[in-house]
């Protein structure tokens, strides 16, 4: 694959995530998708840049805003939409939905509806990968609000102590749900918290997919070499509210306007044309191809059967201990 083709491939992933999220929001509004959606519109460069630096044996954990991470890891939009539709052909046969989608074959250890809950999961995965000894790493995505959670601090402490092959990626979109970062923590840069655990803290432009890939590749190389974890703070911005239906009135209009002008897809597209000799027509063809793929994905989901009531307890697991009843 030539470098130009590789760059166009990154652009396609950015567009795929954006349009997947926008179409999902439209389908939810039309009544096809039940429940909450937390789109990652505006944050695509973080997912694509990080996953572009990973190998097939690596693992990632995600957040409540996880569609982009899963797509960047190579997930099938058909099965993702089917899961959002709560249909049998979804990734979790309608039992996961948006907040708990998972595909271990891709090394995607799950989205998670609990703030910061993916961080210790990735830390545990990193411990297992270290014991396995094949050089694989575990990556955890989380937001700025999650860095106030005990799980964040406990995980970084253990990962540093044991030199685990982990990369912690904070997608700092400036808001923990509806609260600005400067109202829930005193530090301006989340990356400075890495110093407390004697590990590198790196700041990246989260709207620049190539910078995110470069910074992540350096952190991954360090982890593979047995030098321990890195905390990456990717500064970015979600274009919409915390969830679909949240109008985002708590955000100053001038702030939103400023970040919309730094749209990661527009900026990368301009860069491809101006610096890498990619024709605008090729980018237009990429966008059209994405539309065709998502049209087929939505049709697949709509045609997928609803799960039967007697399937409700299939693939559901629980453990009991002596003297306890399973209810």
pLDDT greater than 60 at residue 70:
yes
Which CATH number does 3-313 carry? 3.40.50.970
pLDDT of residue 2: 67
Compute the CA torsion angle 255, 260, 261, 262 (nearest 10 deg): 100
Q: Rounded CA gap, 92 and 51, in Å?
A: 22
CB burial class (10 A; 0-12, 13-18, 19+) of residue 271?
A: middle
- Per-residue pLDDT tens over the stretch 10-46: 999 999 999 999 999 999 999 999 999 999 999 999 9
Q: Rounded CA gap, 109 and 120, in Å?
A: 12
- Per-residue pLDDT tens over the stretch 241-296: 999 999 899 999 999 999 999 999 999 999 999 999 999 999 999 999 999 999 99
pLDDT of residue 243: 92
pLDDT greater than 80 at residue 325:
no
- Per-residue pLDDT tens over the stretch 306-321: 999 988 888 877 666 6
Find out whether 159 and 199 touch, Cβ atoms under 8 Å.
Answer: yes
User: Interior CA angle at 73 toward 199 and 48, to 5°?
Assistant: 65
Please give the average per-residue pLDDT across 48-72, as a whole number: 98
pLDDT greater than 80 at residue 326:
no
- CA-to-CA dists, residue 117 to 122, 155, 207, angstroms: 9, 10, 25
Radius of gyration of the chain (CA): 20
Cβ neighbour number for residue 150 with a 10 Å cutoff = 9
Please give the average per-residue pLDDT across 203-219, as a whole number: 98
pLDDT of residue 324: 53
Instruction: Categorize the per-residue pLDDT at 327 as very low, low, confident or very high, splitting at 50, 70 and 90.
Output: very low
Q: Rounded CA gap, 137 and 165, in Å?
A: 5
Find out whether 132 and 166 touch, Cβ atoms under 8 Å.
Answer: no
Tokens of 221: 């190389």
pLDDT greater than 90 at residue 323:
no
Overall residue count recorded for the chain in this entry: 327
| Residue ranges in the chain assigned as alpha helix (H) | 3-29, 44-52, 67-72, 77-84, 118-132, 150-161, 209-224, 253-260, 264-276, 280-303
Cβ neighbour number for residue 305 with a 10 Å cutoff = 10
How large a percentage of the chain has pLDDT more than 90? Answer: 94
- Per-residue pLDDT tens over the stretch 114-172: 999 999 999 999 999 999 999 999 999 999 999 999 999 999 999 999 999 999 999 99
Cβ neighbour number for residue 62 with a 10 Å cutoff = 28
């Amino acid at each position: 694959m030539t470098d130009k083709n590789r760059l166009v491939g990154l652009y396609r992933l950015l567009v795929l995530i954006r349009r997947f999220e926008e179409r999902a929001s439209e389908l939810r509004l039309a009544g096809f998708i039940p429940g909450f959606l937390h789109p990652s519109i505006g944050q695509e460069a973080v997912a694509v840049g990080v996953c572009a630096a990973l190998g097939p044996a690596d693992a990632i954990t995600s957040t409540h805003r996880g569609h982009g991470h899963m797509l960047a890891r190579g997930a099938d939009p058909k099965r993702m939409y089917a899961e959002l539709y709560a249909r049998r052909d979804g990734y979790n046969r309608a039992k996961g939905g948006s907040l708990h989608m998972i595909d271990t074959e891709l090394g995607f250890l799950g989205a998670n509806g609990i703030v910061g809950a993916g961080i210790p999961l990735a830390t545990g995965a990193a411990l297992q990968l270290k014991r396995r000894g094949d050089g694989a790493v575990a990556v955890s995505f989380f937001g700025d609000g999650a860095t106030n959670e005990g799980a964040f601090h406990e995980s970084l402490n253990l990962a540093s102590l044991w030199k685990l092959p982990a990369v912690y990626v904070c997608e700092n979109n400036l808001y923990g749900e509806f609260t600005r970062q400067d109202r829930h923590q005193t530090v301006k840069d989340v990356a400075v918290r890495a110093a407390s655990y004697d590990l590198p803290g790196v700041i990246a432009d989260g709207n620049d997919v190539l910078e995110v890939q470069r910074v992540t590749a350096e952190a991954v190389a360090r982890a593979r070499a047995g030098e321990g974890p890195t905390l990456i703070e990717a500064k970015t911005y979600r274009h919409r509210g915390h969830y679909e239906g949240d109008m985002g009135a708590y955000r100053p209009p001038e702030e939103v306007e400023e970040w919309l002008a730094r749209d990661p897809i527009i900026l990368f597209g301009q860069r491809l044309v101006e610096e890498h000799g990619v024709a605008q027509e090729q980018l237009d063809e990429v966008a059209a191809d994405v539309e065709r793929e998502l049209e087929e994905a939505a049709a697949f989901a709509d045609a997928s059967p609803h799960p039967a009531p007697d399937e409700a307890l299939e693939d559901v697991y629980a453990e009991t201990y002596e003297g306890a009843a399973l209810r």
